[in-house]
Amino acid sequence: MPRLRKRIANRLKDSQNTFAMLTTFNEVDMTNLMKLRSDYKDEFVKKHGVKLGLMSCFVKAAVSGLQNQPIVNAVIDGDDIIYRDYVDVSVAVGTSKGLVVPVIRDADTMNFADIEKGINNLAKKATEGALSIDEMAGGTFTISNGGVYGSLISTPIINPPQSAILGMHSIVQRPVVVDGSILARPMMYLALTYDHRLIDGREAVYFLRRIKDVVEDPRRLLLDI
């Protein structure tokens, strides 16, 4: 077994043996976020030199959710609960050798362009096998996007020693009721796996609802509401 695969296997088994894992689900209408990207994609690239992707939007949404429900950003340490006043988001990246999870440091202080540049830089290093141990250590929350492989829904496993992980999935046109009419909308299922020893169901659901609210109406990020 290659060393990276062995390390992944050990961490996943440690996660299953340590956490009381539970997964809650929701779905988001991606219409407004996709329109935002379409309307400003050229201006964004021209000004910042990077494309505006979905992941940066979900990182920003996760930051908002973690600030709204700080217990999701906390961790159990022995008999203590440690609350972090910073947000370091781990982003799962698939490579030919296995899954790696580099960290976007201080994501709560970054704008969309900073996050995109950070993701692009870390993804490039991951593909080249050039990530350092420091670049993969110390995250407080993880986002995994199985949608890039066509996953419709899944139950992601917590990345220890964190307390929760958000799973993104494929965007699929589905019929939904909007103001009494049935319309085809681009929908995505979201999954939040969390450590039930620390996080209650109410807090997990509120966190995921915050993600949903922000993604469906990105103006909330601008207005901080």
Per-residue pLDDT tens over the stretch 138-164: 899 999 999 999 999 999 999 999 999
98 phi-psi bin (left φ>0, alpha ψ -120 to 50, beta other): left
At residue 118, the pLDDT reads 96
pLDDT (0 to 100) of residue 223: 85
Mean pLDDT calculated for residue range 88-112:
92
Q: How confident is the model at residue 16 (pLDDT cuts 50, 70, 90)?
A: confident
Active-site residue, selected from the candidate residues 48, 114, 196, 217:
196
Residues 94-101 have a mean pLDDT of 84
Instruction: Say what the pLDDT of residue 62 is.
Output: 98
Give the chain's domains with CATH numbers: 3-218 (3.30.559.10)
Q: Is 196 annotated as catalytic?
A: yes
Give mean pLDDT, residues 7-21. 86
Tell me what the pLDDT averaged over the chain comes to: 94
pLDDT tier at 216 (50, 70, 90 boundaries)? very high
C-alpha–C-alpha distance, residues 192 and 81, integer Å: 20
| pLDDT value, residue 98 | 80
Between CA 204 and CA 211 the distance in angstroms is: 11
pLDDT at position 13: 85
% of the chain surpassing 90 pLDDT: 84
Return the sign of the alpha-carbon dihedral for residues 82, 88, 92, 93. negative
- Measured CA distances, 183 to 1, 39, 47, 52, 217 (Å): 49, 22, 35, 27, 18
Would you call 143 helix, strand, or coil by DSSP? strand
The residue annotated as part of the active site, out of 14, 39, 42, 200, is: 200
- Note if 108 is an active site residue: no
Please check the confidence at residue 110 and state whether its pLDDT lies above 90: yes
Q: Kindly tell me if the per-residue pLDDT of 4 is higher than 80.
A: no
Q: Which residue in this structure is represented by tokens 């370091």?
A: 88
Q: Give 184's strand partners.
A: 175
What percent of the chain lies above the pLDDT cut of 70? 100
How does residue 176 score in pLDDT terms, banded at 50, 70 and 90? very high
Q: Kind and range of the H or E element at 26?
A: strand 21-29
Q: Residue 105: exposed, middle, or buried by beta-carbon count in 10 A (0-12, 13-18, 19+)?
A: middle
